[in-house]
C-alpha cells in the first residue's frame, strides 16, 4: 500500500492527464476517483488511513490547480502547503481529542516517554543530546506537518511535470531562478519574529503565541532563504559560470544562511527590490522581457 504522501505524485499525474484530455471539468472527476480509492483503501487497511489519504488528495488537486496558470508567484503553492499542514494537524488533533487529550500534550508525552524508555541504556552525554533534540521537537512540532505537506507538494510537482511531458503540455512549474514569493511572506516573517520575541510578555496564552511565532518565523525564513538562493543562482547564471560553480555556491549559500541569515535576508530584500525584474509575473513576465 502506497503512503499517502507518495501517492500525491500519482494523483497529480492522473488529474493533469484527465484535464489535458477531457478539459478542466475532468479534474473534479479524477479527484473524485482518487478520493473514493482513498476511502476504499481505508476500509482495507484501517479507517485511520482515510483522513490522511484525503488530505493527500486535496494537496494534489490544490497543487495542480495552483500551477495551472503561467506567470504567477508562488503564493498559491504556499497556500496549498499551509492548508495541507493545517488539515493534517486538524486530523491528528481530532484523533487526540477522541483519546481525551490534545495534540501538543500527546506529542509532549510521546517525546518524554521516548526519553524515559532509554533510561540508563545510553551514556549521560548522549542522553543530554537526545533531551536537547526532544526539546527542539516540542518547540517545532508543527514544522513536521509543514515539511510533510511540502514533500507532498514536491511529489505532486513531479507527477504534474511527468504528465505534462507525456501529454506534450507546456511546463507550468517555475524553475529556481524564476521563483518569486508573494509579499505577504515577508509580513509573515516579521510577524513571526515579533510573536517569538514578545509572545512571552502576553497575558493570554504566551506559550501558544511563542509556539505559533517560532514556527511561522522558521517557515517564512526557509521560504525566503530559497528565494535568496534563487537570486544568487540568477546572478551566477548571468555571469556565465558553470553548473558546477552554481552547485558549489548553493552549499556556500546554505552555510551562510545557517550561520548569518544571509540568504533569507537577501530574499526578504528581493521581495521589495525585485532584483530579477520578475514583478508579479514570474516566468511569463521574464519571457516577455526577453522577447
Same domain, 162 and 181: no
Please give the residue range of the domain that contains residue 216.
177-291
Return all residues near 215 (Cβ < 8 A) that are at least 6 apart: 140, 142, 143, 146, 192
Helices 206-238 and 262-273: crossing angle in degrees, nearest 10, is: 80
Taking alpha carbons only, the member of 192, 178, 259 closest to residue 221 is 192
For residue 137, tell me if it sits in a domain: no
Looking at the fold, whether 194 and 87 belong to one and the same domain comes out as no
- Whether residues 271 and 245 share a domain: the answer is yes
Q: Do 194 and 276 sit in the same domain of this protein?
A: yes
Hey, how many other C-beta atoms are within 10 angstroms of the C-beta on 247? Answer: 10
Q: Which of 118, 153, 173 is the last residue of a domain?
A: 173
- Same domain, yes or no, for 82 and 225? no
Q: Are residues 88 and 197 in the same domain?
A: no
Same domain for 20 and 161, yes or no, is yes
> Residue 192 falls within a domain, yes or no?
yes
- Residue 190 and residue 90 share a domain: no
Indicate if 41 and 169 belong to the same structural domain. yes
Grouping H, G, I as helix, E, B as strand and the rest as coil, residue 113 is helix
Q: What's the pTM?
A: 0.84
The verdict on 161 and 254 lying in the same domain is no
Count of domains observed in the chain: 2
Q: Are residues 35 and 162 in the same domain?
A: yes
| Contacts of 44 by beta carbon, 8 Å cutoff, 6+ apart | 1
Domain boundary among 173, 192, 221: 173
188 and 45 in a single domain? The answer is no
Query: Backbone phi, then psi, for 122, in 5-degree steps?
Result: -125, 155
Question: Considering the domain boundaries, does residue 24 fall inside one?
Answer: yes
Domain boundary residue, one of 173, 189, 217: 173
Reading the chain (291 residues) residue by residue, the pLDDT tens digits are 457 788 899 999 999 999 888 877 788 888 899 899 888 887 888 887 889 889 999 999 999 988 886 555 788 899 999 999 999 999 999 989 988 998 988 888 887 787 777 666 667 777 788 888 888 888 899 999 999 999 999 999 999 999 999 998 888 778 888 889 999 999 999 999 999 999 889 888 888 899 999 999 999 999 999 999 999 999 999 998 888 999 999 999 999 999 999 999 999 999 999 999 987 544 444 444 444
Considering the domain boundaries, does residue 96 fall inside one?
A: yes
Amino acid at each position: 500500500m502506497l503512503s499517502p504522501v507518495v501517492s500525491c505524485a500519482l494523483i497529480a499525474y492522473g488529474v493533469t492527464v484527465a484535464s489535458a484530455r477531457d478539459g478542466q471539468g475532468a479534474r473534479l472527476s479524477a479527484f473524485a476517483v482518487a478520493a473514493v480509492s482513498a476511502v476504499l483503501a481505508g476500509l482495507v487497511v484501517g479507517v485511520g488511513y482515510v483522513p490522511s489519504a484525503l488530505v493527500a488528495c486535496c494537496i494534489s488537486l490544490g497543487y495542480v490547480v495552483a500551477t495551472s496558470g503561467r506567470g504567477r508567484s508562488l503564493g498559491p503553492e504556499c497556500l496549498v502547503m499551509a492548508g495541507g499542514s493545517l488539515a493534517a494537524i486538524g486530523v491528528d488533533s481530532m484523533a487526540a481529542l477522541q483519546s481525551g487529550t490534545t495534540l501538543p500534550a500527546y506529542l509532549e508525552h510521546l517525546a518524554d516517554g521516548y526519553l524515559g524508555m532509554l533510561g540508563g541504556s545510553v551514556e549521560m552525554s548522549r542522553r543530554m543530546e537526545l533531551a536537547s533534540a526532544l526539546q527542539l521537537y516540542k518547540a517545532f512540532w508543527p514544522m513536521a506537518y509543514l515539511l510533510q505537506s511540502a514533500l507532498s507538494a514536491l511529489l505532486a510537482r513531479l507527477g504534474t511535470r511527468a504528465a505534462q511531458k507525456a501529454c506534450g503540455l507546456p511546463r507550468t512549474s517555475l524553475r529556481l531562478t524564476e521563483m518569486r514569493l508573494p509579499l505577504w511572506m515577508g509580513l509573515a516573517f516579521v510577524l513571526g519574529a515579533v510573536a517569538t520575541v514578545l509572545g512571552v510578555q502576553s497575558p493570554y496564552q504566551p506559550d501558544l503565541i511563542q509556539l505559533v511565532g517560532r514556527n511561522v518565523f522558521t517557515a517564512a525564513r526557509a521560504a525566503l532563504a530559497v528565494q535568496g538562493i534563487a537570486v544568487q543562482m540568477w546572478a551566477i547564471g548571468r555571469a556565465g559560470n558553470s553548473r558546477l560553480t552554481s552547485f558549489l555556491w548553493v552549499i556556500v549559500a546554505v552555510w551562510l544562511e545557517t550561520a548569518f541569515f544571509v540568504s533569507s535576508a537577501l530574499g526578504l530584500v528581493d521581495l521589495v527590490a525585485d532584483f530579477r525584474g520578475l514583478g508579479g509575473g514570474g516566468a511569463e513576465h521574464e519571457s516577455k522581457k526577453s522577447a
